[in-house]
Amino acid sequence: MSALFRLRKTHRRLISDSKGFSSIVGAVFAVLVMISLISTVFVWSLQQNTLYNNAVTQTRQADVERSNEKTVVLNTTYTPYDDKVNVYAQIQNIGSSSIQFITVWLYLSNSTLWTNYNFSSLVNANVQSGSTYTLNVDLKATGVNPNSTYSLSSWLVTAKGNTVALQQTIISANNIIVSQTTMGIGALMMDFQNFTYYNVSQSGPPYTLTPPSGASGYLVQGAKGPPKGQFAFRVIITNLDQNQNSIILAAGSVLFSIFPTSTSAFQGTAWYIVNVNGTTISNSYTPVTLEYNRATPLYFASSIPSTYTPFGQATFTGTCPVNLALIGTIGGIPFGQNIPFVSISITS
């Protein structure tokens, strides 16, 4: 009874003593706040630890995927022309995973003309395991011409951050030898590796070159669907005249083909020379001058000479030989050369 009496007495005293009661409530509240803070910090620590572990896992996975990218560069060719450098290369994916190339970089060094970096973004440059990717891109290099010596290097960057170094080389005007002209063929030399084609838009004029941007001219696709034969071919030509005269090409210069449509009949298609400014085809033709030892791109797209005229609806398909008939003047006198060209396949 005495213990119960003392407990009741204490209870009455606490109730009657407001300061004592407030102290107890405050102490309880402080304990609850501390528990809440500790719980929050504990939960935050777990979350941060989870984020850290996920980041480490993703980094390790990215490192594994990056290490799985394996390539071999089969060949590399650099062609300087018209303030640009054409970079052509073939890269084989020998790894177990696909590779996406996103940019190509060029470093060109010359003591007097141009020393700098340049790059270009790549579109649809996805290469499956075991496949080979063909790079064919023009990179701007102000002041570059084939008459000087350059040290060139380039590399590709993948979406996973790897770099693929292409072959380095030194280009020198002194590398030109007489056998490249061979006299029996003529003064003009063609770059066979960089023969390309473009589709031509149907919404002109003005008419513009559209993707495929510089696809291989040896395989032309989509002849019977839009744009139904509206193609432009690009050929890079170098003037190696022994007398170092400039050659001026007339509007009658033409790229022509012969299709064996049957055993007794042959049909032909001709693409006449045009001027291209950026990606736009000029309505009328201005004679192109081929300066000595300067690689120059020539475009062939028109169905008639002098004025750009799109082709009609029909285009032949199949395998055909193609010749390049160039006419004009050299040193002010008439000039003509037929380059035994290539064979191409045009598909529907």
Residues 6+ apart with CB under 8 A from 283: 205, 206, 307, 308
Bridge partner residues of 220 (DSSP): 346
Bridge partner residues of 72 (DSSP): 92
Q: What is the pLDDT of residue 22?
A: 65
Query: What span, in angstroms and rounded, lies between the C-alpha atoms of 104 and 139?
Result: 9
CATH code of domain 71-175:
2.60.40.10
Query: What span, in angstroms and rounded, lies between the C-alpha atoms of 189 and 146?
Result: 13
Query: What span, in angstroms and rounded, lies between the C-alpha atoms of 202 and 214?
Result: 18
Q: What is the pLDDT of residue 53?
A: 73
Q: What is the pLDDT of residue 112?
A: 67
Does residue 80 have a cis bond before it (omega within 30 degrees)? no
Q: Which residue has tokens 């995973």?
A: 97
Nearest to 279 by CA among 218, 204, 193: 204
Instruction: Identify the DSSP state of 1.
Output: -
Q: What is the pLDDT of residue 281?
A: 92
* Start-end of CATH 2.60.40.10 domains in the chain: 71-175
Q: What is the pLDDT along the chain (348 residues), one digit of tens a residue?
A: 566 556 565 556 655 555 555 666 667 767 777 777 777 877 787 788 777 777 776 767 666 666 778 888 887 888 877 788 888 888 999 888 899 999 999 988 875 666 788 899 998 889 998 888 989 888 888 777 666 777 888 999 999 888 898 887 776 655 544 444 444 467 888 888 788 888 888 777 888 887 766 678 788 876 655 555 578 899 988 888 877 889 999 999 999 888 776 666 667 788 999 999 888 999 999 999 998 877 889 999 998 999 998 876 556 677 888 889 999 999 889 999 998 878 888 777
Put simply, whether the predicted model's pTM sits higher than 0.85 gets the answer: no
H or E element: which one contains 207? strand 207-216
Query: What span, in angstroms and rounded, lies between the C-alpha atoms of 21 and 234?
Result: 95
Structure token digits, residue 126: 């996805």
- Residue 259: CB atoms within 10 A of its CB come to 18
77-80-84 Cα angle (round to 5): 115
Q: What is the pLDDT of residue 80?
A: 79
> What single letter denotes the amino acid at residue 39?
S
Q: Yes or no: say if 274 and 301 are a contact pair by the CB < 8 Å rule.
A: yes
Q: What is the pLDDT of residue 172?
A: 63
- Residue 5: CB atoms within 10 A of its CB come to 9
Q: What is the pLDDT of residue 336?
A: 93
Nearest to 340 by CA among 323, 317, 319: 323
Q: What is the pLDDT of residue 282?
A: 93
285-291-294 Cα angle (round to 5): 110
H or E element: which one contains 9? helix 2-16
Query: What span, in angstroms and rounded, lies between the C-alpha atoms of 305 and 314?
Result: 19
Nearest to 158 by CA among 67, 233, 86: 67
